[in-house]
């Protein structure tokens, strides 16, 4: 059987199938310049394995029936081989979701927004201005460790059912105020001793004599 058959520019085969009978070996279609081009629609009824350095898909829409996409699926995957892996969306600058082994985290280089909110524990450090409501669903806000707040602004809402104004608090009262009172100003100036309820151990100095 001849191993090579040479034709001109075109080879026309009449029929529905081209069968490469290579026994147990794989059938190979190759080109002298390294590029094989299939014009029209190609339908592969079996599995497709692509071996190479780069796979390029030039299509307007990529549709995949599978609901799970595996990345970095090599022979022996580890966190080290996954480091830096993820998704890159090309734009004026790259928009990325990348895994970092050192912090064991998914890192976004763009803001993340949700139209229906977020659920779950929020841990770690946050920076920048935080807008919107905070709903604890009736639970307490508990801070453990050292918490430093250099600028806390409450715009509208209530504390202990006391209405808080925009930048200037409106009138109201709190159920309990604790501390030594050194930072409380303009609170007691509107009161005199006549506003005090009589009880035991009441002492007054600089009394006014008539």
Look at the block and give the residue holding tokens 């080879």.
11
CB 100 within 8 A of CB 83: yes
- Tokens (6 digits) for 25: 């070996």
Helix (H) or strand (E) holding 163: strand 162-163
User: Are the CB atoms for 123 and 114 separated by under 8 Å?
Assistant: no
- Ranges of residues in the chain with a pLDDT under 50 are none
pLDDT of amino acid 32: 79
Full-model pTM: 0.56
Q: What are phi and psi of 81, to 5 degrees?
A: -75, -25
* 24: its two tokens: 């147990």
The per-type count for the chain, helices as H runs and strands as E runs, is 1, 5
pLDDT at 100: 97
**Within 13 Å and on the Cβ side, how many CA atoms surround 44?**
6
Residue 28, pLDDT score? 83
Strand partners, 63: none
């Amino acid at each position: 059987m001849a191993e090579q058959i040479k034709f001109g520019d075109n080879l026309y085969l009449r029929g529905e199938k081209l069968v490469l009978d290579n026994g147990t070996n794989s059938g190979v279609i190759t080109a002298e310049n390294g590029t094989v081009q299939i014009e029209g629609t190609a339908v592969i009824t079996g599995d497709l394995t692509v071996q190479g350095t780069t796979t390029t898909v030039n299509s307007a829409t990529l549709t995949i029936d599978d609901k799970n996409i595996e990345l970095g699926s090599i022979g022996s995957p580890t966190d080290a081989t996954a480091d830096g892996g993820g998704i890159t969306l090309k734009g004026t600058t790259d928009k990325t979701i990348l895994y970092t082994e050192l912090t064991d985290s998914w890192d976004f280089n763009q803001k993340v927004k949700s139209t229906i909110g977020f659920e779950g524990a929020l841990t770690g450090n946050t920076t920048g201005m935080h807008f919107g409501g905070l709903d604890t669903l009736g639970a307490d806000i508990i801070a453990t460790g050292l918490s430093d707040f250099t600028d806390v602004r409450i715009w509208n809402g209530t504390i202990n059912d006391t209405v808080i104004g925009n930048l200037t608090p409106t009138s109201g009262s709190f159920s309990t105020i604790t501390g030594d009172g050194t930072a409380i100003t303009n609170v007691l100036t509107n009161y005199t001793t006549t506003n005090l309820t009589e009880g035991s151990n009441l002492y007054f100095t600089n009394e006014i004599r008539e």
